[in-house]
Amino acid sequence: MSAQQTRPRPADPRGPRPRVAVAFVAAAPALAAYAAVRLVGLVVLQVWASADGKDALNRLGGRWDSVWYQRIAENGYGYTVTLPDGGVHPDLAFFPLLPALERTLAELTPLTLQGAGIAVAWAAGLAAAWGIFAVGARLHGRRAGVLLAVLWGVYPTAFVQSMAYTETLFTALAAWALYAVLRDRWIVAGTLCVMAGLTRPSAAALVAALAVTAAAVLVREYRAGDRKGLVRRNARMLLGVCLAPMGWLAYVVFVAVRRGGPFAYFEVQAQWGNSIDGGRALAGFVLGLPLPAALGLCAALGLLGWLVVLCVRQRQPLPLLVYGIAIVVISLIGSGYFGSRPRLMMPAFPLLLPAALALLRLRTTARTAAVLTVLALASAAYGAWTLLGTGPP
């Protein structure tokens, strides 16, 4: 062997590329495609709003729940609306992480609170798309990851991803937490769960995903006879699971102290009509619809159930299965406003994996692009119609 052959390669003067930079380059196609489909939605909304003489930006950050978050960001908690029927809606129903981010960004930049809320949502949307891509790419390759991120961006209620709402922020935290679990980074996953628990009550689904997955690991090792040092060997996993519910519990305790009762958080949610009724409100809503609409809704629920079955049959990793199914269950068994339920299910991105794998089997890129273009236009049209209507999403 010659000296030329044994001579070490000169070091790269730029140094090793940081892991984040490498991951970003890998995710760039997914982020660009996701941004493109969301841009389609914004353009359609702007054109439609201009034709109707309405303010598109105000629909994204100046109405409905967005106003509650901005009021909390500006003044803290303590605002309550009294309804004509005597009911009350306290702002303690809204979790604190989004308004905290809005306030921080507004203080550090020239943005108003409304602009800060929209900026947080858009940045969180990209972070969510990146995390969703990372999960899909780890399971089925980079192309599947790109398709999964884009499908999330053309979800029927994907217009909410452009609003100053919590869905994008929560989905970003959930996607990266699940990715961390897939890589056995349990403390990272638990920490992300803490932040998710300060964002939305549906963080319970994420906590369940970690807890059930950890329990399955312990049972498997115990049954395999590897019992000595079981707890010590899985200490980081157990610490992550213990961390996971702390954000949600901290807010529940905060509301309890603020209102002077241990169950105050649940009372606040009940004042907003958000109690758990096991699906009775959903059944009553369906039965109260005209027959064609009821049949259509039943078909949509059947499609949802079929997607869950496909996810099980495709043997998705346990944390993704538990998380996706739990999000669906939480969204359907509550007594709250029915129109918000598709929005509440939007973070359940694992349900889109069967569709991503189906698109992966298409023979040409042109066919895949055509399908995604049609879905993007349909999602954009539905989003503009909804946002320019009278009711909240």
- Confidence class of residue 3 from pLDDT cuts 50, 70 and 90? very low
Residues 6 or more apart whose CB falls under 8 angstroms from that of 32 comprise: none
Residue 15 pLDDT > 70: no
Question: What is the per-residue pLDDT for 10?
Answer: 46
pLDDT value at 5 more than 60: no
Residue 346's pLDDT is what? 95
Confidence band, pLDDT 50/70/90 cuts, at residue 17: low
390 against 147, higher pLDDT: 147
The answer, yes or no, to whether residue 338 has pLDDT greater than 90, is no
pLDDT for 303 equals 92
Q: What is the model's pLDDT at position 63?
A: 85
Alpha-carbon Rg for the chain, nearest whole angstrom, is 23
pLDDT band (50, 70, 90) for residue 362: confident
Q: How many CB atoms lie within 10 A of CB 263?
A: 12
In the predicted model, what is the mean pLDDT of residues 72-86? Answer: 91
Whether the per-residue pLDDT at 214 is higher than 90: the answer is yes
Q: Which has the minimum average pLDDT: 139-148, 273-282, 360-369?
A: 273-282
Instruction: Output the average pLDDT for the chain.
Output: 91
Q: Is the pLDDT reported for residue 352 higher than 50?
A: yes
Q: What is the mean pLDDT of residues 141-164?
A: 96
pLDDT score recorded for residue 319 = 97
pLDDT value at 196 more than 90: yes
Look at residue 16 and tell me whether its pLDDT is greater than 80: no
pLDDT in tens, 31-65: 999 999 999 999 999 999 999 999 999 999 988 89
What average pLDDT score do residues 228-244 get?
Answer: 92
Q: Quote the pLDDT of residue 151.
A: 97
Task: Report which of residues 312 and 283 the model is more confident about.
Answer: 312
Q: What does the H/E/C string look like for the chain?
A: CCHHHHCCCCCCCCCCCCHHHHHHHHHHHHHHHHHHHHHHHHHHHHHHHHHHCCCHHHHHHCCCHHHHHHHHHHHCCCCEEECCCCCEEEHHHCCCHHHHHHHHHHHHCCCCHHHHHHHHHHHHHHHHHHHHHHHHHHHHCHHHHHHHHHHHHCCCCHHHHHCCCCHHHHHHHHHHHHHHHHCCCHHHHHHHHHHHHCCCCCHHHHHHHHHHHHHHHHHHHHHCCCCCCHHHHCHHHHHHHHHCCHHHHHHHHHHHHHHCCCCHHHHHHHHCCCCECCCHHHHHHHHCCCHHHHHHHHHHHHHHHHHHHHHHHCCCCHHHHHHHHHHHHHHHCECCCHHHHHHHHCCCHHHHHHHHHHHHCCCCHHHHHHHHHHHHHHHHHHHHHHHCCCCCC
For residues 218-229, give the mean pLDDT: 85
Mean pLDDT of 364-381: 93
pLDDT at 18 over 90: no
226-238 average pLDDT score: 87
Distances from the Cα of 191 to the Cα of 84, 94, 217, angstroms: 42, 21, 20
- Predicted pLDDT of residue 278: 79
